[in-house]
Amino acid sequence: MNIELAEYDDAWPGLYERERARVLEALPGAVLEHVGSTSVPVLCAKPVVDLLLVVDEPLVEGSYVPALEAAGYRVVVREDDWHEHRVLKGPDTNVNLHVFPRGCAQVRRHVIFRDWLRSSDEDRELYASAKRELAAREWDRVQDYAVAKNGVVLEILERAYSAWRLPSDDVEFVTDDPPHNAPVVLAEYDAAWPDLYAVEAAKIRGALGSGIVRLEHVGSTSVPGLAAKPLIDILLVVPDSNDEDAYVPALVEAGYYLRLREHGWYEHRLLKGVSPKVNLHVFSPRCEEVDRMLAFRDRLRAHDADRREYERTKRELAGRTWARVQDYADAKTRVVERIILRALG
């Protein structure tokens, strides 16, 4: 089969607005975005209007599907193992309504890609050229054409993510370390690191009990075979990271101390432990950064080439001297984003 691309049609935004109104009538207050190529002026596209709908839990279809079915939509795709993704088709327009959970990193991925193509003439033309070249080939399935675009999509997304920043980088230090030259020392992977995590996890569970939504070993010490700073990174999800009274005093009693607050970065809190060295990252549920941290860890665990690429970057950067360890972490951003994008697919 051939892929038929159409030149950009000024009617596409209007079709999106019509479908948006229909969805909002069925689901008042829903979070919706126009994504995909029809959302980018001037860009050629398959004449399919892609909408992105955010719900709390796509797996709980009873909370949104019946209302959409009453409006004429029907579920055509269920991907429980891929971000709980659902696709519904529209009643009288060629529409794909993509459903993702709140806090899923796929939402930002789609929006950043759209916004970057809207603003970058060069990358928009690069993407259009790749689409035209691939569309001229014969494909067994439309999905095969989509997969073939992944290379150029990831190339463009890497530039988009490198340029993108959260609205605020406000950091409030609770306990301050004085500025100092900080050589980064990497250790070879130590099979004891998972055991150290298990001890810390038991300590945290003992302190917080049912106040834990999720607890995970993350960071480089969670990836077998990967060289790392000998520092155990732990991801803790609590009902509300902003409600420090619900978890900070108990964790301080267990031997941790509150290092910093980042109000502009998902209300992130960082607590530290001294022996062993621990970074305890605290977030609320349905937070995109939780999704990203776990996707990065799991990708490194499963893909040797990505693990080697990341380790090469770490070793090269560790050979330098940094004013702050955070500067070393920031220097890894591009390769980290690249690997996360591969993980998100």
Q: What digits encode the pLDDT tens for the residues 222-263?
A: 999 999 999 999 999 999 999 999 999 999 999 999 999 999
Q: Is the pLDDT of residue 130 over 90?
A: yes
Q: Rounded CA gap, 134 and 145, in Å?
A: 7
- Mean pLDDT, residues 294-305 taken together: 98
Q: Is the peptide bond before 276 cis (omega within 30 degrees of 0)?
A: yes
| Residues 96/101/106/112 CA torsion (nearest 10 deg) | 80
Mean pLDDT, the chain, rounded, equals 93
Question: Which residue shows structure tokens 């675009």?
Answer: 149
pLDDT at 323: 77
Q: Is the pLDDT of residue 15 over 90?
A: yes
Domain 12-163 matches domain 172-326+336-344 at the CATH topology level: yes
Q: Rounded CA gap, 316 and 336, in Å?
A: 14
pLDDT band (50, 70, 90) for residue 216: very high
CATH of domain 172-326+336-344: 3.30.460.10
pLDDT band (50, 70, 90) for residue 324: confident
Instruction: For 229-240, write each residue's pLDDT tens digit.
Output: 999 999 999 999
Could you tell me the two tokens for 38? 């029809």
Which of the 8 DSSP states describes residue 175? S
The H-or-E segment that residue 327 falls in is: helix 325-331
- Looking at 3.40.50.620, 3.40.50.2000, 3.40.50.300, 3.30.460.10, the CATH number of the domain 12-163 comes to 3.30.460.10
Instruction: For 71-104, write each residue's pLDDT tens digit.
Output: 999 999 999 999 999 999 999 889 999 999 999 9
Percent of the chain exceeding pLDDT 90 equals 83
Q: Rounded CA gap, 124 and 255, in Å?
A: 52
- Sorted by where each begins, the domain ranges of the chain are 12-163, 172-326+336-344
| Residue 256: φ, ψ to 5° | -95, 165
Burial of 202 (0-12, 13-18, 19+ CB in 10 A): exposed
Q: Is the pLDDT of residue 334 over 90?
A: no
pLDDT at 100: 98
pLDDT at 165: 66
DSSP output for 255-269: T-EEEEEETTTTTEE
Could you tell me the two tokens for 113? 């890609």
pLDDT at 169: 62
In the chain the first and final C-alpha atoms are separated, in Å, by: 24
pLDDT at 261: 95
pLDDT at 166: 56
Pick the closest to residue 234 from 198, 277, 280 (CA basis).
280
Percent of the chain exceeding pLDDT 70 equals 97
Distances 137 to 8, 141, 143, 151 between C-alpha atoms, Å? 21, 11, 13, 17
Instruction: For 144-195, write each residue's pLDDT tens digit.
Output: 898 999 999 999 999 998 888 655 567 888 987 644 456 788 999 999 999 9
pLDDT at 299: 98
